[in-house]
């Protein structure tokens, strides 16, 4: 009896989870292949929402998706674990031991065999070796990190709230965000909104005007990879909110209570967030003899197969794919991972049938940047610039499209309805 072709997908982000869901319905349900998703966490949250989690304007526990429950409904298996190595000769991946919160071993190290391996483990922040970044900065690579920042942000308000009533000087909160790409800009705007929400809920010991948010960017403008008109619109709105924007400013070192810039400027900072640049996780560098670039990304061909092993695919932020009609690799965006996941549904079906694979084609549909409640900016296909409430609605729809890809129309409508009810029934800010 022939065994089913085993496709193992490592990484349950938007791309990996979307791919596992689609393959589960196309191949797993029909017993044409066995699909296994591997992730180091039990739950999934859409990464573009992490700035809202960090600010406390989104409760991550309400929007998370459990991999085990989702896998049962969508005809694939889930394995909890963190990949540490690949054995290409034996076609197996090694997983680290499972540990509990106390560091005790729950399950030993183990391996999973595959016929086809797909790596979609995303990216982490790249601090470029900046002095003090790792010790003194928060990062927003995962939900756990966003939750940790939200707790520290809340604790600053609780600390101020506990001060004696006769304190002479009003407390200040200085927040510095290094990197004015999409994450940095969106976080700055969301923190500004959260500062007003804290005051509305009685935590007004730190008044919104005393929350000093500084956005630091080495390039000559915010959102440097987007069109100048979008960049200018975003910067104008940030400044209107009172956010201090510093461009052409290189960070030299990060200390416990301040940021040191290359020109000698010292920026006071109680909370510091690094959001400048990305890289693939360090353990991917040269893994199993596969070709990687200087930021640890696996180099792949126009079929998203790694250059040295046709049975291993990679996509999303952890892969570097340069197409014939492009001078640079396709950009590390959520839409890229979504497009590549859709492509791989067809390509992997052809691969296990021994057929020629179609070439991957990238389409840039533009970018949308959230500037918190009621406002967004962006550009669409044809260099059409959008802003305001229309842009905000389009931004919200991106998340609904992600939910639709995972759950289908009916369940997405139910989730949307649940979110609307929750807004009226619950605080608009996570206060615990």
- Looking at domain 6-123+280-365, its CATH superfamily turns out to be FAD/NAD(P)-binding domain (3.50.50.60)
Query: What per-residue confidence (pLDDT) applies to 63?
Result: 80
Q: Mean of the per-residue pLDDT values for the chain?
A: 92
Question: Which position has the token pair 């183990």?
Answer: 110
Q: 132-180 pLDDT, tens per residue?
A: 999 999 999 999 999 999 999 999 999 888 887 766 666 889 999 999 9
Closest C-alpha to 53, from 401, 416, 429: 429
What CATH fold (topology level) applies to the domain 127-276?
FAD/NAD(P)-binding domain (3.50.50)
| Radius of gyration in angstroms for the set of CA atoms belonging to the chain, rounded to a whole number | 22
Query: What per-residue confidence (pLDDT) applies to 272?
Result: 97
Query: What per-residue confidence (pLDDT) applies to 210?
Result: 92
Weakest-pLDDT range from 61-65, 268-272, 313-317: 61-65
Query: What per-residue confidence (pLDDT) applies to 29?
Result: 95
> Are the C-beta atoms of residues 223 and 188 closer than 8 Å to each other?
no
The answer to whether residue 425 scores a pLDDT higher than 90 is: no
Query: What per-residue confidence (pLDDT) applies to 1?
Result: 46
Q: What is the largest CA-CA distance in the chain?
A: 81
CATH 3.50.50.100 segments of the chain: 127-276
Q: 323-352 pLDDT, tens per residue?
A: 988 888 999 988 999 999 999 999 999 999
Six token digits for residue 355: 């057929």
What stretch of H or E contains 36?
Answer: strand 34-39
Q: 257-308 pLDDT, tens per residue?
A: 999 999 999 999 999 999 999 999 999 999 999 999 999 999 999 999 999 9
The single-letter DSSP state of residue 268 is E
CATH 3.50.50.60 segments of the chain: 6-123+280-365
Q: Pick the more confident residue, 382 or 316.
A: 316
Neighbours of 388 (CB within 10 A): 14
Query: What is the band of 228 on the pLDDT scale with cuts at 50, 70, 90?
Result: very high
Task: For 330-383, give the DSSP string.
Answer: PP--HHHHHHHHHHHHHHHHHHHTTPPPPPP-----EEEEE-STT-EEEEETTT
- Rounded Cα distance between 247 and 268, Å, is 17
Phi, psi of 2 (to 5 degrees): -75, 135
- Rounded Cα distance between 378 and 361, Å, is 23
> How much is the average pLDDT of 90-115?
92
């Amino acid at each position: 009896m022939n065994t089913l072709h085993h496709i193992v997908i490592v990484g349950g982000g938007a791309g990996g989870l979307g791919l596992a869901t689609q393959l589960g319905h196309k191949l797993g349900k029909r017993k044409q292949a066995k699909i296994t998703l591997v992730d180091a966490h039990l739950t999934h949250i859409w990464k573009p929402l992490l700035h809202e989690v960090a600010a406390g304007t989104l409760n991550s526990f309400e929007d998370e998706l459990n991999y085990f429950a989702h896998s049962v409904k969508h005809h694939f298996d889930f394995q909890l674990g963190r990949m540490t190595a690949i054995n290409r000769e034996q076609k197996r991946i090694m997983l680290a031991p499972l540990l509990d919160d106390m560091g005790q071993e729950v399950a030993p190290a183990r391996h999973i065999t595959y016929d086809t391996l797909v790596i979609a483990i995303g990216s982490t922040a790249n601090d470029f070796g900046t002095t003090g970044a790792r010790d003194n900065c928060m990062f927003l690579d995962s939900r756990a990190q966003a939750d940790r920042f939200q707790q520290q942000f809340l604790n600053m308000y609780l600390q101020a709230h506990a001060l004696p009533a006769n304190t002479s000087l009003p407390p200040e909160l200085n927040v510095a965000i290094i990197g004015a790409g999409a994450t940095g800009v969106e976080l700055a705007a969301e923190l500004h909104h959260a500062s007003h929400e804290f005051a509305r809920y009685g935590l007004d010991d730190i008044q919104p005007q005393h929350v000093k948010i500084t956005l630091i960017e080495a390039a000559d403008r915010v959102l440097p990879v987007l069109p100048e008109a979008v960049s200018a619109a975003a910067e104008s709105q940030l400044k209107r909110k009172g956010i201090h924007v510093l461009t052409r400013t290189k960070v030299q070192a990060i200390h416990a209570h301040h940021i040191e810039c290359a020109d000698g400027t010292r920026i006071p900072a109680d909370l510091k967030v690094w959001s400048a640049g990305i890289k693939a996780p360090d353990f991917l560098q040269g893994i199993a003899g596969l070709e990687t670039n200087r930021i640890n990304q696996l180099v792949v061909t126009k079929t998203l197969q790694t250059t040295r092993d046709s049975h291993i695919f990679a996509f999303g932020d952890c892969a570097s794919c340069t197409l014939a009609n492009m001078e640079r690799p396709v950009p590390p965006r959520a839409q890229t991972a979504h497009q590549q996941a859709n492509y791989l549904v067809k390509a992997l079906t052809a691969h296990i049938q021994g057929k020629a694979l179609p070439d991957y084609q990238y389409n840039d549909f533009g970018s949308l940047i959230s500037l918190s409640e009621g406002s967004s900016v962006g550009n669409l296909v044809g260099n059409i610039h959008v802003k305001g409430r229309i842009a905000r609605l389009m931004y919200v729809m991106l998340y609904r499209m992600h939910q639709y890809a995972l759950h289908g129309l009916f369940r997405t409508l139910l989730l949307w309805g649940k979110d609307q009810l929750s807004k009226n029934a619950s605080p608009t800010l996570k206060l615990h």
